Amino acid sequence: MDRKALIREYKNTPHPMGIYQIENKANGKILIGSSKNLPGILNRFRSELKLGSCRNKALQDEWEQFGSDAFEFMELEVLKPLDDPVYDPFEDLKILEELWAEKLTPYGDKGYNKKPKLVT
């Protein structure tokens, strides 16, 4: 199979989507988020952290302080896609992420997420 065919096959392959967590086992702080491609987002975080280029500065600083062995990457919940070809999981992922954030409160001393702004 040529390179273009491999790329096309990869893009057409459905990826697990849902909610992920990165936990600092040294201090219990967590980052949670959602993605349409769970393996992809977790690999991106691992790569950015190893390269020192993670967008989440607090997470990057503690990665450098505690080392890679202190962190665990996991899928919290996988969202099953609907059989509808026009289904966009964005809203479902957003709601799931909000529910997990409410449950785990990954803010301040407990996590790396920024507290959402209240809508008035």
For the segment 84-108, the average pLDDT, to the nearest whole number, is: 94
Q: Which residues contact 33 (CB under 8 A, 6 or more apart)?
A: 19, 20, 41, 97, 113
For residue 71 the two structure tokens come to: 């962190």
- Mean pLDDT across the stretch 72-83? 92
Among 116, 85, 106, smallest CA distance to 27 is for 106
Which runs of consecutive H residues, i.e. helices, occur in 52-80? 57-66
Mean pLDDT value of segment 5-20: 85
Distance between CA 113 and CA 101 in Å, rounded?
A: 9
Under the banding of pLDDT at 50, 70 and 90, the label for residue 100 is very high
pLDDT, tens only, 22-37? 999 999 999 999 999 9
pLDDT for position 53: 98
* pTM for the whole structure: 0.87
Q: Confidence band (pLDDT; 50, 70, 90) for 119?
A: low
Other residues' Cβ atoms within 10 Å of the Cβ of residue 33: 21
CA angle 14, 49, 101 (to 5 degrees): 65
pLDDT(42) > 70: yes
Average predicted confidence (pLDDT) for the chain = 93
Model confidence at 6, in pLDDT bands (50, 70, 90)? confident
Domains and CATH numbers, the chain: 14-94 (3.40.1440.10)
pLDDT of residue 62: 98
Give 72's contacts (C-beta < 8 A, 6+ positions apart): 22, 23, 25
Average pLDDT over residues 1-5: 86
- How far CA 56 is from CA of 31, 80, 91, 119, in Å, comes to 9, 28, 23, 24
